[in-house]
C-alpha cells in the first residue's frame, strides 16, 4: 500500500504545482479583470443606474453623458445598466454548462476507459454527437424545447459532453498502464473503489483546465445564440441580446455594439489566459507548445 500511496496522483501534488512559482503578470491581470466582472455581476443591483428593462422613449439613442454613462438604446434603456446585468446571465450560463457537462461526462469517461464493452458503444455515440456542429445542435435544441436560461444551458452543454468524455477516457487509459493500478488489481480492489481512488484523481488536473475552456466557450456560444435571436428572450439583458438590438444602428450609434462586445471579449480573454496558466502549472510538459 505504501507503493500505491507514493505513485498514485494526489490533490496535494496539484496544489503544490499551482503554488510553486509566482504567476505571470498576464495571469494576474486576467484574474483582476475576471474578478471585476464577477463583482460587477453580483453587485449589479447596486452598480446599475437604472432598471435594465425600463423603457424611456424620450431618451432613445442618447450618447454617453453624466446621466447615461454609456448612452441609451433604441428603446431609451440605459446601456450601462444593461451591460452590467448582462454579466449575470453570461456567468450563470458559463457555470451551468461547465458544471453540467463535467458532471455528465466524467462518469461516462471513467466507464468507457475502464470497461471495454461500454467503451465500444459509448464512444460511437460520442463520435456521432461530435459530428454535428455545436452551434447547429444548440440552435436545434433551443428551437425544439423553447424556454429560457435552463434550455440554453442544456443546448450548449450537449456539444461539450463528448469532448470531456474523450478527455477523461484518454486519462483513464493512460492510468491503466501505471504500476499502482496493476498493484491495486492484484490486491483484489473492487472496480468502484479502484476507479474512485486511483483513476479519478488522474482526471482532476485536465478537467480543471478543460473546464476553463468550456466556461469561455459557453459564454461565447450564449452570446452567439442571443445575437442570432434563438437564445435567451430579448427581454432579458444579455451581451448577445444587446449587440443584436444595436446592430441595426451600428453605423450611426456604434456604442450600442461596442461596449457589450468589449466586456464580452475581456471576459473570454481573461478566462482563456487563466486556462493557459493552469495548463502550464498542472502539466509542465505542455508549457510553450501552444
The string of pLDDT tens digits covering residues 68-127 is: 888 888 888 999 999 999 999 999 999 999 999 999 999 999 988 888 888 888 988 998
Residue 23 is classified by DSSP as P
Note the pLDDT of residue 288: 46
Query: Could you tell me if 109 and 167 are in contact, meaning their C-beta atoms sit under 8 angstroms apart?
Result: yes
- Residue ranges with strand state E in the chain: none
The cell numbers describing 5, all together, are: 500511496
- Residue ranges with strand state E in 210-261: none
Name the β-bridge partners of 72. 78
Note the pLDDT of residue 21: 61
Helix (H, G, I), strand (E, B) or coil at 29: helix
- Structural domains present in the chain: 2-286 (1.10.3720.10)
pTM of the model: 0.84
Q: Please determine, for residue 12, whether its predicted confidence score (pLDDT) is greater than 80.
A: no
* Residue 223: closest CA among 254, 247, 246, 244: 244
Rounded distance between C-alpha atoms, residue 45 and residue 55, angstroms: 17
Q: Please determine, for residue 249, whether its predicted confidence score (pLDDT) is greater than 70.
A: yes
Name the β-bridge partners of 78. 72
Helix (H, G, I), strand (E, B) or coil at 78: strand
The string of pLDDT tens digits covering residues 233-246 is: 878 889 989 998 88
Residue 72 is classified by DSSP as B
Note the pLDDT of residue 2: 38
Rounded distance between C-alpha atoms, residue 37 and residue 102, angstroms: 24
Kindly report the average pLDDT of the chain as a whole number. Answer: 84
Confidence of residue 6 (pLDDT cuts 50, 70, 90): very low
Q: Which residue has the higher pLDDT, 185 or 227?
A: 227
Q: Please determine, for residue 26, whether its predicted confidence score (pLDDT) is greater than 60.
A: yes
Note the pLDDT of residue 100: 95
29: how many CB neighbours lie within 10 A of its CB?
14
Q: Please determine, for residue 271, whether its predicted confidence score (pLDDT) is greater than 80.
A: yes
Amino acid at each position: 500500500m505504501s507503493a500505491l500511496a507514493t505513485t498514485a496522483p494526489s490533490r496535494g501534488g496539484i496544489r503544490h504545482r499551482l503554488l510553486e512559482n509566482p504567476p505571470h503578470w498576464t495571469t494576474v491581470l486576467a484574474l483582476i479583470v475576471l474578478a471585476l466582472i464577477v463583482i460587477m455581476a453580483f453587485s449589479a443591483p447596486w452598480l446599475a443606474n437604472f432598471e435594465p428593462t425600463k423603457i424611456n422613449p424620450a431618451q432613445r439613442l442618447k450618447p454617453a453623458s453624466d446621466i447615461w454613462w454609456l448612452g441609451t438604446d433604441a428603446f431609451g434603456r440605459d446601456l450601462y445598466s444593461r451591460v452590467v446585468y448582462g454579466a449575470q446571465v453570461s456567468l450563470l450560463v458559463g457555470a451551468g454548462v461547465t458544471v453540467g457537462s463535467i458532471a455528465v461526462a466524467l462518469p461516462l469517461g471513467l466507464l468507457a476507459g475502464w470497461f471495454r464493452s461500454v467503451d465500444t458503444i459509448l464512444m460511437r455515440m460520442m463520435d456521432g454527437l461530435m459530428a454535428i456542429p455545436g452551434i447547429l445542435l444548440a440552435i436545434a435544441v433551443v428551437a425544439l424545447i423553447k424556454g429560457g436560461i435552463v434550455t440554453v444551458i442544456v443546448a450548449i452543454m450537449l456539444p461539450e459532453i463528448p469532448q470531456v468524455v474523450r478527455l477523461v477516457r484518454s486519462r483513464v487509459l493512460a492510468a491503466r498502464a501505471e504500476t499502482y493500478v496493476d498493484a491495486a488489481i492484484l490486491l483484489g480492489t473492487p472496480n468502484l473503489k479502484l476507479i474512485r481512488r486511483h483513476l479519478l484523481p488522474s482526471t482532476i488536473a485536465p478537467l480543471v483546465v478543460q473546464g476553463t475552456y468550456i466556461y469561455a466557450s459557453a459564454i461565447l456560444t450564449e452570446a452567439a445564440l442571443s445575437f442570432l435571436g434563438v437564445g435567451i428572450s430579448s427581454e432579458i439583458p444579455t451581451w448577445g441580446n444587446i449587440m443584436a438590438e444595436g446592430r441595426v444602428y451600428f453605423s450611426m450609434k456604434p456604442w450600442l455594439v461596442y461596449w457589450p462586445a468589449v466586456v464580452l471579449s475581456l471576459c473570454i480573454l481573461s478566462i482563456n489566459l487563466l486556462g493557459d496558466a493552469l495548463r502550464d502549472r498542472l502539466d509542465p510538459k505542455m508549457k510553450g507548445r501552444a
